């Protein structure tokens, strides 16, 4: 009888996996948005930080895989890490959010155009500021005689009846300094240009270096500790069972639950709801949003870590490798790249890296394109819920998550009918079509898809793209587990930790490459540091993201989640077109491995282990079989 996991172990493992993936998505999507759109780090700095972390992972992940494979405890080689690492990841997930703002709003951040009817006679003043705009000189004077915000006796900025900070009214003049700008649209335009010049102050010198350095250090530290938990979490799946169907089942469910962990991406959408309590203490828009993100980071990380801990308490390692030799990091690298089917999967996963842009850019796109970076103001119009928008957004989200979570659940059935290699290449090539279609449809619609026909088409495209992406994730994990068997069969070495470190490496390197791509595109359209701060301010004052900057920002985001992923999907099929390990060959290998393990185990000293009801049943059945064999032998001897 094959050794396999119990239902209790499966549920505990999947619960822990959900928590771990919530933690991953808080950082993978939430931190990228936080760095660029909350504390306003330069886009190029963000992309370099993520890329640098991935370079380090190229070294760190195989090292951690080697350490896992060398670990020997009474619990096994993966379980100890799952018991003790979650608490460490809790801390390292929170600290990247404790950083200063790269672009600080000054007292002019809250400037607003004063009504034309309230213009006063121009008075020569040292407060006057000048700005050249399209060949004309404009002059700006604060209506209340100071650029400082009005404050109460405690120094807290005054607020209106809705709790919003009262903005400094600005008078705009042109010509001889005595002529108010009568065209309100023109006045608002030049006022926005004024804020571009004076509204935000970027960090410089040592302060700027420290802010970026802390962002880099804290993110790399998180990546290292996350790896210490991630490799054992996936590697233990090949140690929980030696049944091929049960392995496919747990990896399929694991991939589905990992996608459920995408609720961590809601981090970006939920955070602003904490902003009000900080505004009530007198914080401005920018600083109150920063504190809201820090608060939610603590709350969600604690919750996710509690779930993660269930994996350590639940899993049991049932498959034991008989290999006793310890391998160095260099030797493990040689094992990884010497295993041809594993090498093919590794290269394919790296080529598919742009697919991670969906995670890197998605929440930024959702926050800006659908909610104008103001969820409350967009969802509630005149105190009433905008039901149409809610249903439209839900339609697209349901399409994407339905594709990524529900469709892959059928992958084990497909594996029983079709060759894994054929399925892998099919989803890679066909999946490129809906990804490309997303940007094509966006352009055809003129940049506005917020109509029912537009959202339905997008939902279908996202479902197809998500189904391909989710199925590939399942197939990748199952095929890596097959490669572990392949290596054990050929060399006697079972490198679960090293090979699943390859999966972790693919995921994180892909995110780094995706960050470089997004950083380059954002730099081209100037969606970076101060410009993001100015965009946020413009949206607060009534601008529409879909048309802001001639729609360049919106087009850039839709391009990023469409065209590069489509190209990556096509490239990913190239290394696996001639995939070496066929399903027929793997079945033969696994059967022989099970037979070898049985031969080695027979006659070996019994090691006392903690057993649950299913273990006891297996033990009892084994003892009964031995008794029957003894009786049969005795009867034969007597005859």
In a domain, 150, yes or no: yes
Q: Do residues 285 and 382 both lie within one domain?
A: yes
Residue 166 placed within a domain: yes
Given a cut of 80, whether residue 114 has pLDDT beyond it is no
- In this structure, are 127 and 263 located in the same domain? no
Distance, CA of 17 to CA of 310 (rounded, Å)? 9
Whether pLDDT at 145 is above 80: no
Please tell me whether residue 438 adopts helix, strand or coil conformation: helix
pLDDT recorded at residue 302? 97
C-alpha to C-alpha distance for 522 and 54, rounded to whole angstroms: 20
Based on the fold, state whether residues 92 and 191 are members of the same structural domain: no
CA distance 113 to 101: 26
Q: Residue 404: pLDDT above 80?
A: yes
Structural domain includes residue 439 = yes
Residue 603 included in any domain: no
| Full 3-state SS string of 33-64 | HHHHHCCCCCHHHHHHHHHHHHHHHHHHHHHH
- Average pLDDT score over residue span 184-189: 78
The predicted structure's pLDDT at residue 609 = 39
CA gap 306, 310 in Å, rounded? 7
Q: Where is 343: in which H helix or E strand? A: helix 340-351
3-state secondary structure of 492: coil
- Verify that 193 and 229 share a domain, yes or no: no
Residue 409: its pLDDT value, please?
Answer: 85
Over residues 208-216, mean pLDDT: 95
Q: Where residue 618 falls among pLDDT bands split at 50, 70, 90?
A: very low
Question: For residues 125 and 220, which has the higher predicted lDDT (pLDDT)?
Answer: 220
Tell me: pLDDT of 462 over 90.
Answer: yes
- pLDDT value at position 284? 74
Name the residue among 292, 364, 309 with its Cα closest to residue 33: 364
Give residue-wise pLDDT tens across range 316-347: 998 875 555 666 777 777 888 889 999 999 99
DSSP 154: T
* 346-378 pLDDT tens trace: 999 999 999 988 877 887 898 899 998 888 788
If asked whether residues 140 and 227 sit together in one domain, one would say no
Give, in order, the Cα–Cα distances in Å from 146 to each of 108, 140, 151, 168.
10, 12, 12, 9
What CATH number did the domain enclosing 382 receive?
1.20.1250.20
Contact status, residue 229 vs residue 309, Cβ threshold 8 Å:
no
Would you state the pLDDT for residue 513?
A: 85
* Helix or strand run (H / E) with residue 86: helix 79-94
Q: Does residue 135 share a domain with residue 79?
A: no
Does 638 fall in a domain? no
pLDDT value for 611 = 41
pLDDT value, residue 612: 44
Only one residue has tokens 């004309």, namely 136
13-17, 603-607, 622-626: which is most confident: 13-17
Q: How many other CB atoms sit within 10 Å of the CB of residue 319?
A: 22
Whether the pTM exceeds 0.75: the reply is no
Query: Does residue 607 form part of some domain?
Result: no
Mean per-residue pLDDT of the chain:
83
On whether both 507 and 546 belong to a single domain, the answer is yes
Terminal Cα distance for the chain, rounded? 31
Percent of the chain with pLDDT over 90: 37
Alpha-carbon distance 419 to 428, whole Å? Answer: 14
Question: Do 217 and 353 have their domain in common?
Answer: yes
**Residues 316, 456 within the same domain:** yes
Query: Does residue 153 lie within any of the structural domains?
Result: yes
Both 231 and 359 in one domain: the answer is: yes
Phi and psi at 35, nearest 5°, equal: -60, -45
Confidence of residue 180 (pLDDT cuts 50, 70, 90): confident
Residue 606 has pLDDT above 50, yes or no: no
Domain boundary among 198, 223, 253: 198
**pLDDT of amino acid 111:** 66
Number of domains in the chain: 2
pLDDT of residue 604: 47
Residues of the domain holding 115: 107-198
Single residue among 198, 217, 247 that ends a domain in this structure? 198
Mean pLDDT, residues 264-269: 78
User: Do 73 and 144 lie in a common domain?
Assistant: no
Residue environment code for 207-237, b if the CB has 16+ CB neighbours within 10 A, otherwise e: ebeebbeebbebbbbbbbbbbbbbbbbbbbb
Q: Is residue 221 part of a domain?
A: yes
Decide which of 153, 175, 198 is a domain's last residue: 198
Considering the domain architecture, whether residues 151 and 21 belong to the same structural domain is answered as: no
H helix runs in 266-339, sequence order: 267-270, 275-279, 285-314, 329-338
Query: Which stretch of DSSP H or E encloses residue 138?
Result: strand 136-142
In three-state secondary structure terms, 400 is: helix
């Amino acid at each position: 009888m094959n050794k396999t996991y119990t239902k209790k172990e499966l549920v505990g493992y999947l619960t822990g996996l959900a928590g771990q993936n919530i933690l991953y998505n808080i950082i993978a999507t939430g931190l990228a948005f936080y760095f660029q759109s909350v504390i306003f780090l330069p886009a190029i700095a963000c992309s370099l930080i993520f890329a640098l972390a991935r370079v380090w992972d190229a070294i760190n992940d195989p090292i951690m895989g080697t350490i896992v494979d060398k670990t020997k405890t009474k619990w096994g080689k993966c379980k100890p890490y799952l018991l003790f690492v979650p608490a460490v990841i809790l801390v390292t997930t929170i600290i990247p959010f404790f950083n200063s703002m790269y672009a600080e709003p000054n007292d002019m951040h809250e400037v607003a155009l004063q009504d034309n009817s309230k213009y006063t006679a121009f008075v020569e003043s040292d407060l006057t500021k000048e700005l050249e705009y399209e060949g004309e000189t404009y002059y700006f004077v604060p209506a209340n005689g100071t650029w400082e915000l009005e404050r109460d006796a405690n120094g807290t900025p005054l607020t209106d009846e809705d709790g919003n900070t009262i903005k400094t009214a600005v008078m705009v003049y042109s010509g001889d300094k005595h002529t108010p700008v009568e065209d309100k649209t023109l006045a608002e335009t030049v006022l926005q240009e004024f804020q571009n010049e004076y509204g935000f102050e970027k960090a410089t010198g040592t302060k700027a270096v420290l802010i970026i350095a802390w962002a880099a250090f804290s993110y790399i530290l998180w990546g290292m500790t996350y790896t210490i938990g991630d490799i054992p979490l996936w590697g233990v799946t090949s140690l929980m069972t030696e049944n091929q169907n049960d392995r496919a089942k747990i990896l399929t469910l694991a991939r589905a639950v990992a996608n459920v962990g995408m609720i961590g991406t809601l981090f970006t959408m939920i955070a602003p709801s904490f902003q009000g309590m900080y505004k009530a203490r007198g914080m401005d828009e920018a600083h109150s949003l920063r504190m809201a993100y820090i608060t939610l980071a603590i709350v969600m990380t604690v919750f996710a870590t509690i779930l993660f801990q269930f994996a350590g308490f639940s899993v049991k390692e049932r498959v034991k490798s008989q290999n006793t030799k310890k391998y160095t990091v260099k030797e493990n690298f040689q094992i990884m790249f010497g295993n041809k089917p594993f090498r093919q999967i590794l290269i394919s996963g790296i080529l598919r890296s742009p697919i991670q842009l969906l995670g890197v850019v998605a929440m930024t796109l959702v926050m800006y394109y659908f909610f104008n970076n103001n969820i409350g103001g967009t969802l509630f119009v005149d105190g009433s819920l905008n039901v149409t928008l809610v249903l439209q957004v839900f339609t697209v989200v349901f399409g994407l998550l339905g594709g990524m979570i529900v469709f892959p659940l059928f992958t084990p059935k497909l594996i029983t009918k079709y060759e894994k290699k054929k399925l892998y290449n099919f989803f890679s090539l066909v999946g490129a079509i809906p990804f490309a279609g997303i940007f094509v449809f966006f352009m055809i619609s003129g940049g506005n898809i917020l109509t029912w026909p537009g959202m339905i088409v997008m939902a279908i495209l996202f479902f197809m793209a998500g189904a391909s992406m989710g199925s590939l994730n399942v197939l990748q994990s199952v095929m890596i587990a097959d490669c572990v068997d392949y290596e054990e069969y050929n060399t006697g070495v079972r490198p679960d930790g090293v090979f699943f470190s390859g999966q972790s490496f693919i995921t994180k390197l892909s995110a780094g490459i995706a960050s470089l791509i997004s950083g380059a595109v954002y730099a081209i359209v100037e969606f970076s540091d101060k410009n993001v701060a100015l965009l946020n301010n413009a949206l607060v004052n009534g601008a529409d993201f879909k048309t802001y900057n001639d729609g360049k920002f919106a087009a850039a985001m839709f391009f990023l989640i469409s065209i590069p992923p489509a190209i990556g999907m096509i490239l990913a099929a190239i290394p696996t077109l001639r995939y070496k390990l066929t399903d027929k060959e793997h079945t033969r290998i696994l059967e022989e491995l099970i037979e070898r393990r049985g031969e080695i185990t027979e006659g070996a000293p019994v090691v006392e282990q903690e057993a649950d009801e299913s273990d006891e049943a297996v033990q009892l059945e084994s003892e009964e079989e031995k008794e029957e064999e003894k009786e049969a032998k005795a009867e034969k001897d007597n005859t």
